[in-house]
Amino acid sequence: MTSSTARDHARPLRKLTARGRGEAHRVASPLELFFDLCFVVAVAQAGVQLVHAVAESHAGEGILNYAMVFFAIWWAWMNFTWFASAYDNDDVLYRVVTLVQIAGVLVLAAGVSRAFEDHDFVVVWLGYVIMRFALSWQWLRVAWSAEGPERTMALRYAGGVLLCQVGWVGLLVLPEGARAWLFLVMAVLEMCVPVYAEKDHPTTWHPHHIAERFGLFTIIVLGETIAAATVAVKSAVDESDALGELLPIAVGGLLIVFAAWWIYFVVPIHGHLRSNQQSFVWGYGHYFVFASAAAIGAGLEVAVEQAVGKAHLSTPAASAAVTLPTALYLLTVWVLHARHFKVGLAQQLVLPGAALLMICCTFLGDWAVLAAGLVAALTVATGTTLTARAAARESAAVASDGVG
């Protein structure tokens, strides 16, 4: 780093200019890691309320509320992540505004229980608005620092984000029956903002940095899943003598989470993120990756409560709380990036086939979660074996060509 660059970096306020897409050694910053850690608090609150809803046989209502709240968490997280990949200058104002966004998600987390139990979205809405206004301010800073197409892009972002907040007011004034439809409309409009804003001038997000950020958040969500399941098993063991019923759930859940980590990280995805179109599909699809990963933890808690007689639902329903989000996770990871690295029909069918088997495990009674865990482990073993055989055949073919 030159002396002039060092002096510029030391300034408390700097222009918010774009970073280079080919920048070397681009990794997640401590602020971004802190950001993720605070956001997972809201994820945990959504998971807790989903457990309560499903355990009380209000699965439909609980899943709808979970989908709505999780969208607010995920969308605010993803927008910041993509913005930071292109414009993180780490000055004082950037840090302060980012901390405001963190405060917003903590406000949102505080309102999750009221949204689920009383259908009162005021606090959730307030937290979301805080986060979105902070992001709009960041985009206005970009506009002030830029000119030409880049300035237009930044103004489109800021204006689009602010306009969408007007529509979300409907959650506070519309009757309950209309809120689901409002959510669908507003979710689509929110996701159209980046597409419209970047149609003439894409942001200079960094593929390796983006892949790392999404991977780190996946790890954090899976960690929260393990923590939630551990607390559920501990509470059940402390309050009852049902180790025989809980052990299969604990083992199966652990195998599922281990396999979920393995399957997501088995291949590097940053090389596939070459265009905005690919990145939009990949990034938006992670709503289902994150939501299903967090829901697995909630499902394991439901299965534990049902095993010790605390949940008011059948064994197949409790098993479905684990197997269905796991199947969704497997399918989504396959669609988003695993399929791009599979060679041949056998490799391509591993994850879809595993998802189908996962759903079938739902009907295996008390052994459903353990069976699902074994399917997950078998999926990893099968995929690893097929990949190793394909690599061995390729190496043999290359060696044969070299000899010839």
Percentage helix, strand, coil, to 5, in the chain?
A: 85, 0, 15
Helix (H, G, I), strand (E, B) or coil at 175: coil
Does residue 4 surpass a pLDDT of 70? Answer: no
Does residue 387 surpass a pLDDT of 90? Answer: no
How far is the CA of 85 from the CAs of 26, 37, 90, in angstroms?
Answer: 9, 18, 12
Nearest to 63 by CA among 45, 51, 76: 51
pTM here is: 0.89
Per-residue pLDDT, 150 = 93
State pLDDT tens for residues 245-293.
788 888 899 899 999 999 998 877 766 677 667 788 888 999 999 999 9
207-399 folds as I/LWEQ domain (1.20.1410)
Give the other-Cβ count within 10 Å of 264's Cβ.
22
Q: What's the whole-number average pLDDT of the chain?
A: 87
State pLDDT tens for residues 105-163.
999 999 999 999 888 899 999 999 999 999 999 999 999 988 899 999 999 999 999 99
Which position has the higher pLDDT, 237 or 56? Answer: 56
Per-residue pLDDT, 22 = 79
Q: Where are the domains of the chain?
A: 26-197, 207-399
Mean pLDDT of 14-29: 83
User: Among residues of the chain, what percentage have pLDDT more than 90?
Assistant: 54
Does residue 9 surpass a pLDDT of 70? Answer: no
Which position has the higher pLDDT, 76 or 22? Answer: 76
Per-residue pLDDT, 267 = 75
Mean pLDDT of 18-22: 82
Per-residue pLDDT, 102 = 95
Does residue 395 surpass a pLDDT of 80? Answer: no
Amino acid identity of residue 233, one-letter, is V
State pLDDT tens for residues 30-39.
999 999 999 9
How far is the CA of 340 from the CAs of 238, 249, 269, 272, 394, in angstroms?
Answer: 46, 33, 9, 8, 17
Rounded Cα–Cα distance for residues 181 and 374 (Å): 39
Tokens 């052994």: give the residue: 367
Does residue 6 surpass a pLDDT of 60? Answer: no
